[in-house]
């Protein structure tokens, strides 16, 4: 276990047991950070000494606060928070029980809010800090049959915009990163809420197969990890950064300039709706 260090930069990364959060952790360690990696499952065994696993469920206040206390008992400061914990549910709005939607928000949105609120007092007291939130391209444009996932990521966009105004005077910066498709455990962990008798069944199957194809052929998470590590030590954090395959970054840009009806027609064609 890492001893307290005045000199090393310290990061707390959620979702650090898999996929993007794990890749971000590795890249931060490569540039000299001590990473406290949070998740419910144990991370892979091949991680360097500067990765300290902290078992955390971001859906629970006590778990997040306990992890924060553990980090601050070992380290005199915290330089960076990266909130990457998340998962996806899919299914039609009509078929999705509200309890499932609440679970989705409890991790993807309130999980971020819990972690940010847990670490903000320490950052304010030390007079500096950086917060990077992993949103999604699905938080810029609603994805068919992923309404609650998209909504949780749209919510993070507003959260980060508001946060930036509030914490600026304490020398704390925040940024939302909007990834496109990266090949991670995300596809395998997705909860699918659909039954063969659903009136949406055929449409759902067509759309989800396109979405999963794009995810499985997505970019290497290491690319995102390296980009976030550079961002973490850059002069200033931008409000947002979209990272992903060119086609998906273009779609976000086109979404801004095309009339809604045209963009919807493009998505209907792309997803065979």
Ligand X SMILES: NC(=O)c1ccc[n+]([C@@H]2O[C@H](COP(=O)([O-])OP(=O)(O)OC[C@H]3O[C@@H](n4cnc5c(N)ncnc54)[C@H](OP(=O)(O)O)[C@@H]3O)[C@@H](O)[C@H]2O)c1
Q: Which residues bind ligand X (CB under 6 A)?
A: 14-15, 17-21, 39-41, 56-59, 84-87, 107, 134, 136, 179, 181-182, 184-186, 189, 215, 218
Catalytic residue among 149, 201, 270, 271: 149
Nearer to ligand X, 185 or 201 (CB): 185
As measured in angstroms, the least distance from the Cβ of 214 to ligand X is 8
8 secondary structure, DSSP code: S
* Residue 267 annotated among the catalytic residues of the structure: no
Nearer to ligand X, 198 or 252 (CB): 252
Greatest alpha-carbon span in the chain: 60
What's the CA angle centered on 31, arms 173 and 33, to 5 degrees?
Answer: 65
Nearer to ligand X, 41 or 235 (CB): 41
As measured in angstroms, the least distance from the Cβ of 153 to ligand X is 7
As measured in angstroms, the least distance from the Cβ of 43 to ligand X is 8
As measured in angstroms, the least distance from the Cβ of 188 to ligand X is 7
Nearer to ligand X, 110 or 201 (CB): 110
Task: List residues with catalytic annotation.
Answer: 149
């Amino acid at each position: 276990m890492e001893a307290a260090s005045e000199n090393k930069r310290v990061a707390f990364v959620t979702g650090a047991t898999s996929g993007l959060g794990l890749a971000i952790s590795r890249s931060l360690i490569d540039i000299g950070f001590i990473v406290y990696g949070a998740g419910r499952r144990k991370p892979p065994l091949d991680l360097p000494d500067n990765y300290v696993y902290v078992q955390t469920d971001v859906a629970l206040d006590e778990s997040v606060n306990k992890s924060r206390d553990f980090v601050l008992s070992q380290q005199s400061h915290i330089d960076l928070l990266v909130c990457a914990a998340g998962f996806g549910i899919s299914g039609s709005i009509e078929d999705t029980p509200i309890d499932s939607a609440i679970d989705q928000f409890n991790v993807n949105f309130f999980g971020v809010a819990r972690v940010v609120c847990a670490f903000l007092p320490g950052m304010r007291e030390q007079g500096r800090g950086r917060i990077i939130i992993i949103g999604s391209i699905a938080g810029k444009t609603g994805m068919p049959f992923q309404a609650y996932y998209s909504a949780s990521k749209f919510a993070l966009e507003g959260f980060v915009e508001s946060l930036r105004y509030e914490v600026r005077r304490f020398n704390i910066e925040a940024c939302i990163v909007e990834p496109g498709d990266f090949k991670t455990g995300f596809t395998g962990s997705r909860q699918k809420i659909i039954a063969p008798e659903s009136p949406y069944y055929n449409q759902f199957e067509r759309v989800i197969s396109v979405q999963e194809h794009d995810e499985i052929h997505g970019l290497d998470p290491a690319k995102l990890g390296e980009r976030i590590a550079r961002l973490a030590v850059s002069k200033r954090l931008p409000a947002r950064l979209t990272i992903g395959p060119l086609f998906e970054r273009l779609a976000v840009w086109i979404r801004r300039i095309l009339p809604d009806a045209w963009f919807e027609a493009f998505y209907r064609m792309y997803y065979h709706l």
